[in-house]
Structure 1
């Protein structure tokens, strides 16, 4: 019977941490894409705004719209920067979690290889014992 990997529980925990970090990374990348798309749409929409003022009230409306747009673009730029930062942090967390899991996975692979080698050695010894016993019985049978 093969001996269980003694760090199997810790390995499972590391794999769960890695999966969680991968999920966080995917969410951060999705947010980053979404914010970038929103920013691109806002800039495209601003390029389509008419800047012709026919009277004072339309001039004030254009000025207010430009100020509002500038504020909105500044907010989107800040949100983009924050999304980029969160994505970078999520990438670093995923890389660290993956590194912790990989070390234990390598230990598990070595453990399995060692157990398999031990099992094969034990099996070979049993086969040799059976073969030797049969040879001894055959030899004793021919002498008697």
Structure 2
């Protein structure tokens, strides 16, 4: 009977850590994409043509709207810079977690191969012993 992988608990922990890091990376990427989409939408709204201008009040309202949009875009750009740093940190964390999980996976593969070799050697030993008994039994008859 083969012994189980002695680091199975560590492997499960590393796999869970990697999965958590991957999830945090996905959330960070989604937040950044959402922010970029919001910025694109604001830019598109700001550049939309206004053909129904009638008075000076309309022009003042448009100027105020554009100033407000500019301020909002500046805030969004700062927020996107923060989100990009979060994505970069999450990517680094995920790479590290993946490396650590891969190390344990390699150890598990080595353990599995060693266990298979041990099992095959034991089986070969039993076959050799059976063949030897068969050979000795044939000679004494």
Task: Judge same fold: TM > 0.5, yes or no.
Answer: yes
| Partners of 1:24 and 1:2 in 2: CA distance | 38
Confirm or deny that 1:14 pairs with 2:17: no
Confirm or deny that 1:58 pairs with 2:58: yes
Farther off after superposition, 100-109 or 25-34 = 25-34
Count of aligned residue pairs for this structure pair:
140
Query: What corresponds to 1:33 in structure 2?
Result: 33
| Partners of 1:46 and 1:53 in 2: CA distance | 19
| Partners of 2:137 and 2:35 in 1: CA distance | 83
Contact kept? 1:28, 1:87, Cα under 8 Å: yes
Query: What corresponds to 1:101 in structure 2?
Result: 101
| Partners of 1:137 and 1:26 in 2: CA distance | 69
Task: Report the Cα offset of residue 80 of structure 1.
Answer: 1.3
**What are the ranges of 5 or more consecutive residues in structure 2 without an aligned counterpart?**
none
- Listed one character per residue, the Cα deviations across residues 80-137 of structure 1 (whole Å, up to 9, x for unaligned) are 1112111111111100000000000000000000010000000000010011011101
Query: What corresponds to 1:72 in structure 2?
Result: 72
Task: Report the Cα offset of residue 47 of structure 1.
Answer: 0.3
**What are the ranges of 5 or more consecutive residues in structure 1 without an aligned counterpart?**
none
Q: What is the CA RMSD across the aligned residues, in angstroms? A: 1.6
Secondary structure of 2:55's match? coil
Query: What corresponds to 2:130 in structure 1?
Result: 130
Task: Report the Cα offset of residue 50 of structure 1.
Answer: 3.2
Task: Report the Cα offset of residue 68 of structure 1.
Answer: 0.9
